[in-house]
Amino acid sequence: MMITAYLWTTPNGYKIPIALEEMGLEYEIKWVNIGAGEQHQPEFLAISPNGKIPAIVDHDTGISLMESGAILQYLAEKSGKFGGTTLQERAEVMQWLHWQIGGLGPMTGQANHFRGLNEKVPYGEKRYVDETVRLLRVLNAQLDGRDYIAGDYSIADMAAAPWAATARMFDDERINACANVIAWIDRNLARPATARAITLAPA
């Protein structure tokens, strides 16, 4: 038995194969082309009622899940890996996982949206790029003296790295100045399991 992961090639989409590869879990991918509207098809909505990727079906347990944070937490509990072992460790991982879900991901996503508009909206672009920079400075401080966000490598890193790597493409000198973040992104990308995951793409 295995896990079926419903994905597309977005930062949220890559979180899940990174986790599955890092945890050594057996899985298959079904690509959901969000540009073509496949996320609105009834068969996908039966798995992900919110109509967003990623989603999974665990054929071992019969559990289906949407929302990347919930999926990462579930996979950490299922595998016994990367979620922390003590109460304090788990709390540390969870707070930074939720920090990414509530902050870094949405703000970077909005920044990308406004940066990509043909008809520029300077206020919107500045607002969200500035907030992305602020969040990366928070992360930069957290990474001072640490290889990974919560100490040991965890689902917090799996969640945040794809979004931070996207923000790095802004080529903003304020982001480039976050030396701890830049080194941490490279550290994540150098992990063999993560490197395998980010090369996955629909045929």
Q: What is the pLDDT along the chain (203 residues), one digit of tens a residue?
A: 799 999 999 999 999 999 999 999 999 999 999 999 999 999 999 999 999 999 999 999 999 999 999 999 999 999 999 999 999 999 999 999 999 999 999 999 999 999 999 999 999 999 999 999 999 999 999 999 999 999 999 999 999 999 999 999 998 999 999 999 999 999 999 999 999 999 999 98
CATH number of this structure's domain 3-81+193-198: 3.40.30.10
- Which residue shows structure tokens 């959901």? 32
Are 140 and 178 within 8 A, CB to CB? yes
Residue whose pair of structure tokens reads 């909005």 in the numeric block: 110
Structural domain boundaries of the chain? 3-81+193-198, 87-191
Q: What is the pLDDT of residue 171?
A: 86
What's the whole-model pTM score? 0.95
Look-up of token digits 């597309």: 8
DSSP class of residue 26?
-
CA distance 136 to 94: 18
Q: Find out if CATH 3.40.50.2000 is the number for domain 87-191.
A: no
Residue bearing tokens 């794809």: 162
Contact 107, 135 (CB under 8 A): yes
* Chain centre distance of CA 67: 10
**Nearest-angstrom CA–CA distance, 103 and 90:** 20
